[in-house]
């Protein structure tokens, strides 16, 4: 896709991972609203269990690194987060595919949550709770920018085109202002960290040098595992054959050594197994 392509923010296709994420978020939000209205204690319990809270993370509630993205109370937060996922997420999904888009969404949530939790250990910043998919929306925005660095966006209903890099800077600036006003609250820390998570994800999967190193390490580790399994199977087979009064030998790579080529044969240096 050319980087100078113009994007008009019309209604993109509602399908794939974007569709499933938005539907799941909507269903969970409706459940939260109903519980808060008709069974408030249950609703509060659901929010406590689902929101990212460093206090509970330290007690072992690790599922909050993934569930906080689906916890909302304010309708405006809910709409703004999912609007970003829908409009920009559809374009990113067309570029990377459904499976990788799921990876982008959930990895950005988890990475941002973990980074926010680590910052909270200072006791001075990243305090409070985090919720909503703002981190994922920011990660999607960053990935969209990295794919289309020079592309302008026409934001409906504004009749002007804005370079996507200025939108990224604008979003980062606004959220930084909120971060300062909240005294570095966890909510805005995690949201801003989403931009960094998107950059890391793009570098890991679409930067040629990084992708090559990751692939080399992955396949190297896989091949070493297979070699270990082969050597282990060879040793077990040697033991099995010795129990049946037969000697077989394998080299250090797990390759079978034919009897005529076995250097351990004690037959006076002859390659033959017979002594005349």
User: Do residue 173 and residue 249 come from a single domain?
Assistant: no
pLDDT (tens digit, 9 = 90+) per residue, 134-182?
Answer: 999 999 999 999 998 878 877 656 667 888 999 999 999 999 999 999 9
Note whether residue 2 is domain-resident. no
Residues 168 and 125 in one domain: yes
Question: What pLDDT score does 244 carry?
Answer: 75
Residues 242, 176, single domain; the answer is: no
Q: What is the pLDDT of residue 271?
A: 44
CATH number, domain with residue 74: 1.20.1540.10
Q: Are residues 156 and 228 both part of a single domain?
A: no
Residue 267 lies in a domain: no
Same domain, 67 and 162: yes
- Structural domain count, the chain: 2
Q: Are residues 59 and 165 in the same domain?
A: yes
Q: Are 171 and 165 in contact (CB under 8 A)?
A: no
167-203: string of b/e by CB count within 10 Å (b at 16+)? Answer: bbeebeeebeeebeeeebbbbbbbbbbbbbbbbbbbe
**Is 47 within the bounds of a domain?**
yes
Do 76 and 106 belong together in one domain? yes
Domain residue limits at 32:
7-206
Q: In terms of domains, do 59 and 189 share one?
A: yes
| Domain-embedded: residue 24 | yes
The answer to whether residues 163 and 245 belong to one domain is no
**What is the tens place of the pLDDT at every residue in 86-128?**
989 999 999 999 999 999 999 999 999 999 999 999 999 999 9
Are residues 179 and 252 both part of a single domain? Answer: no
The mean pLDDT of the chain is: 85
Residue for token pair 């249950």: 42
Task: Indicate the range of 106-120, 200-214, 235-249, 255-269 predicted with least confidence.
Answer: 255-269
């Amino acid at each position: 896709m050319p980087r100078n392509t113009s994007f008009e923010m019309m209604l993109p296709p509602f399908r794939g991972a974007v569709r499933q994420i938005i539907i799941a978020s909507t269903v969970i939000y409706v459940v939260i609203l109903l519980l808060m209205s008709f069974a408030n204690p249950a609703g509060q319990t659901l929010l406590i269990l689902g929101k990212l809270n460093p206090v509970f993370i330290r007690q072992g509630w690790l599922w909050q690194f993934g569930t906080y993205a689906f916890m909302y109370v304010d309708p405006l937060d809910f709409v703004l987060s999912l609007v970003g996922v829908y409009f920009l997420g559809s374009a990113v999904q067309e570029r990377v595919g459904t499976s990788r888009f799921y990876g982008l969404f959930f990895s950005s949530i988890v990475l941002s949550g973990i980074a926010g939790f680590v910052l909270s250990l200072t006791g001075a910043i990243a305090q409070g709770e985090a919720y909503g998919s703002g981190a994922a929306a920011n990660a999607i925005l960053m990935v969209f920018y990295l794919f289309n660095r020079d592309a302008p966006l026409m934001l409906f209903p504004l009749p002007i085109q804005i370079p996507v890099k200025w939108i990224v800077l604008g979003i980062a600036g606004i959220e930084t202002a909120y971060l300062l006003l909240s005294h570095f609250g966890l909510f805005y820390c995690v949201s801003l960290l989403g931009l960094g998570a998107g950059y890391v994800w793009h570098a890991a999967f679409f930067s040629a040098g990084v992708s090559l190193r990751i692939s080399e390490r992955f396949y190297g580790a896989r091949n070493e595992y297979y070699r270990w399994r082969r050597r282990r199977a060879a040793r077990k087979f040697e033991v099995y054959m010795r129990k049946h009064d037969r000697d077989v030998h394998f080299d250090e790579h797990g390759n079978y050594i034919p009897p005529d080529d076995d250097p351990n044969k004690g037959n006076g240096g002859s390659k033959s197994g017979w002594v005349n």
